Amino acid sequence: MSRIDAKFAALKAEGKKAFVAYVMAGDPDYDASLEVVRGLPAAGVDVIELGLPFTDPMADGPTIQLAGQRSLEAGMTLEKTLQMVRDFRADDDTTPIVLMGYYNPIYSRGVDRFLADAAEAGIDGLIVVDLPPEEDDELCIPAQKAGLNFIRLATPTTDDARLPKVLQNTSGFVYYVSITGITGAAAAEATDVAPEVARIKAATDLPVIVGFGIRTPQSAEAIASVADGCVVGSAIVAAQAEGKPAAEVLAFVKSLSDGAHRA
């Protein structure tokens, strides 16, 4: 059982919804980023999504694009991202970490080397947004063999014909993208999300977590109430971009996690 599986089993036993937080590794610099990442579990975060900075983040809106640029300009690399996970694991061996990003940096490193290094560092799962199910032999299946969950995105345009293919080799949880378009672009509405989550849950036993368009404790509560939990990314990254100290960023994260856990 992976850390992700164990976390969702524990939440289910407690009757709680999951709160997942996304932050960009290395934004605005390594030390400031690590301080926030280390503080996330105490702020109520159940699963950490750690963004791997990349020069061409096609699924992301301006907020996360700029975070990636700041990170890269500060010298962040794939190797330093793995080191950040190692540094986090020195004090926390239970909170699941999902690495979210794009295939190019992984391909450049070499899949086998990357998977060995990721598992050694303490990464539990991958979300690689530009690898469709048709390319599962490329990374998804090798990742699962290496003990990492491979988490797939389902979207409002994933129809009933496509859904089984999306779910086929997915593990850990299903990430439902609540809106069409890029991150941070629009607000998620529980009334729109609920029937889609129900449709996905009818096809899988995996938890369904909803992300994109969640910015407030109220929306976190509303979305988590119709799913197994929610993800907040752009709103947290935006708070960091304003130059707020880690304590203020983490207080905001705590307000969001409190909202999700009320659901």
- From the list 49, 136, 196, 228, the catalytic residue is 49
Establish whether 31 is a catalytic residue. no
Burial per residue of 116-126, b for 16 or more beta-carbon CB atoms within 10 angstroms, e otherwise: ebbeebbbbbb
Number of residues that this document lists for the chain: 263
- From the list 5, 46, 60, 228, the catalytic residue is 60
CA distance 239 to 249: 6
CA distance 160 to 199: 9
Asked if 227 and 19 count as a contact pair (C-beta separation under 8 A), the reply is no
Burial per residue of 7-24, b for 16 or more beta-carbon CB atoms within 10 angstroms, e otherwise: bbeebeeeebbbbbbbbb
Token readout for 33 is 């980023």
DSSP state of 161: T
Asked if 183 and 61 count as a contact pair (C-beta separation under 8 A), the reply is yes
CA distance 35 to 102: 24
Matching residue, tokens 């690399």: 77
Establish whether 159 is a catalytic residue. no
Asked if 237 and 67 count as a contact pair (C-beta separation under 8 A), the reply is yes
Q: Among all residues, which ones are annotated catalytic? A: 49, 60
